Amino acid sequence: MNLLMCPVCRQPLSLTDRTWRCDNKHSYDVAKQGYVNLHVVQHKHSKNPGDTPESVQARRAFLSAGHYAPLQQAVVEKIRSLRIENLLDIGCGEGYYTNAMQAEVLQCVGVDIAKNAVQVAAKLNKDVTWVVGTGATLPVLDKSIDLCTSLFSPIPKAEILRVLKPEAYLMVVTPGPQHLFAMREALFEEVKVHEPQKFVEQLKDVFELVSEDVVDAAMCLNQSDLKHLIAMTPYAYKAKPERRQALEQQDQFPLNAQYQIYLFQKK
């Protein structure tokens, strides 16, 4: 079963000879890297939306070193327990988590607004349907998805409700209160604690909270990994340059990652 929807006329897309087409003859070619761009110009608010190439490369380098593997494993185990068929990863980025999720489902779609991130992701796993697209109009058919995942990404509530089947699931991963606290203390004079519970409040009218888990992972980062971590976060441009430079001088930096995993079910 095809899951993709034409972003112009909202009709189903079908794939023939590396081109996705709808009945209204809108067509979208699969790029040589293996992804399809369904982020049409009328939905764009900037020329190159999403993460910068520098941020994408930093994230690929950092995640490839295995520092967030405990989160990847926890997410995969949760998906395995659900025994579902169709998964949509919203904000898939360069594909680190989506690549691992794919093995647990029949069909996996990864969508991100940043074309340079999807280009990198598409080289990871040819069994994922990689899509450049926007959460404002998810390029996926109504009531076609068993599980939407959003890991450190926006949660387009109305669109998620549209694409999910009845009683299907939404998994949200967000920083826990203590996530990267020591790094944030080094970068900023005032550090606000993350408030993951706000997502439960935002979603409780249409989703039932099924489970919540906290994953803690201690790390000790060398200078290279620390630079990659800073570069892949918004802290890279929010912190004062002198504070960032001082932190990047550290040869070894102990740090705790804390992830909050929420699983919701559509009411």
Q: Is 26 annotated as a binding residue?
A: yes
Q: Is 9 annotated as a binding residue?
A: yes
Q: Is 108 annotated as a binding residue?
A: no
Q: Is 67 annotated as a binding residue?
A: no
Q: Is 148 annotated as a binding residue?
A: no
Q: Is 201 annotated as a binding residue?
A: no
Beta strand 19-21 with 27-29 is antiparallel
CA distance 236 to 242: 12
- Among residues 183, 180, 257, 252, which one has the least CA distance to residue 223? 252
CA distance 146 to 83: 10
Count CB-CB contacts under 10 A for residue 262: 21
Q: Is 22 annotated as a binding residue?
A: yes
User: Tokens 């761009």 correspond to what residue?
Assistant: 37
Q: Is 6 annotated as a binding residue?
A: yes
263 to each of 54, 182, 219, how far by Cα in Å?
32, 28, 26
Q: Which residues are annotated as a binding site for Zn(2+)?
A: 6, 9, 22, 26
Please state the residue numbers annotated as binding site.
Answer: 6, 9, 22, 26, 68, 94-95, 179
Residues belonging to the binding site for S-adenosyl-L-methionine are 68, 94-95, 179
